Amino acid sequence: MFLLAANLQGVLFPVLSKVNDDPLRQYLGFRKACQVLTVIAVPVCVLQMVLARPLIEFAFAERWARSIPVVEGLSLGFLTQSLSVLAGSLLLARGRFGLCAALTGLSAVMVTAAATIGALTGAEAEIARWVGGSLFLTGLAAGVVALRQFNRKALALAGLAGVPLLLVPASILAGWTARMATQNFGPMIVIPATTFAVLGVHLLLVRTMLPEIAKEILARLKMGRWTDAAASAPRLDPA
């Protein structure tokens, strides 16, 4: 998830720059991109959480067992990385370089502080949990900063990523249930069964609660294009 987020930032900057002279259209594109990327990020991060143990134990046996809680803890923080990536791209596109640097600096300070607290209270598992929580919060903070560029209140963040993030508990529950139900059959059964459960529940909820986003993702899968949401945003009132 981190590699995906890092690669997207360099691509999204010129896309958002194309509509820099049309703030309303840029906002609509930014909002759509946040929704689409968060919907995609949720199952990826949930699968990282629930499959960390069976995958690592299957691939590396006991040698990497201590990395399991690290993957699980950091996956929490990656849930909101799409907001951080898009916020950074938006600020760069609008020429807010100082604000972008300040936001990056704040994130670094918070992550460092979280890692320090984790180190003082435990070992690698605690560090990962604290850092994951810090990344989650800094992602939300980045979303709020981005919204302020369009004179939107912090509550508008619910329209960007609120509903996709509400799907996380159900996806985790589905994955955990599938993993527990198949744990006696070995990793070759546990891994595909858990993946199917998480993706199935997530897709069902997305189609039910976010039908327009589901259609958008399906359309982009067919076209093979993911980075032009801002440029293709309609010129409509977002209210």
pLDDT, average across residues 155-163:
82
What mean pLDDT do residues 19-39 have?
85
Residue 106's alpha-carbon distances to 6, 74, 112, 142, 191, in angstroms, are: 18, 18, 10, 10, 37
What is the per-residue pLDDT for 112? 96
The pTM for the full model equals: 0.83
Measure CA of the first residue to CA of the last residue in the chain; give whole Å: 32
* Span 8-32, average pLDDT: 79
What is the overall mean pLDDT for the chain?
Answer: 85
Q: DSSP string covering 159-225, please?
A: IIIIHHHHTHHHHHHHHHHHHHHHGGG-HHHHHHHHHHHHHHHHHHHHHHH-HHHHHHHHHHHHHT-
- Return the sign of the alpha-carbon dihedral for residues 205, 207, 209, 214: positive
pLDDT reported for residue 127? 95
Contact 120, 175 (CB under 8 A): no
Q: Quick check: 238 pLDDT over 60?
A: no
Q: Note the pLDDT tens digit of each residue in 199-216.
A: 999 999 998 988 888 887
Which pLDDT tens digit goes with each residue over 51-65? 999 999 888 877 788
> What's the pLDDT score for residue 224?
58
The pair of structure tokens assigned to 75 is 């996956």
Percentage of the chain beyond pLDDT 70 is 87
**Residue 8 pLDDT exceeds 90:** no
Q: How confident is the model at residue 1 (pLDDT cuts 50, 70, 90)?
A: low
pLDDT in tens, 116-129: 999 999 889 999 99
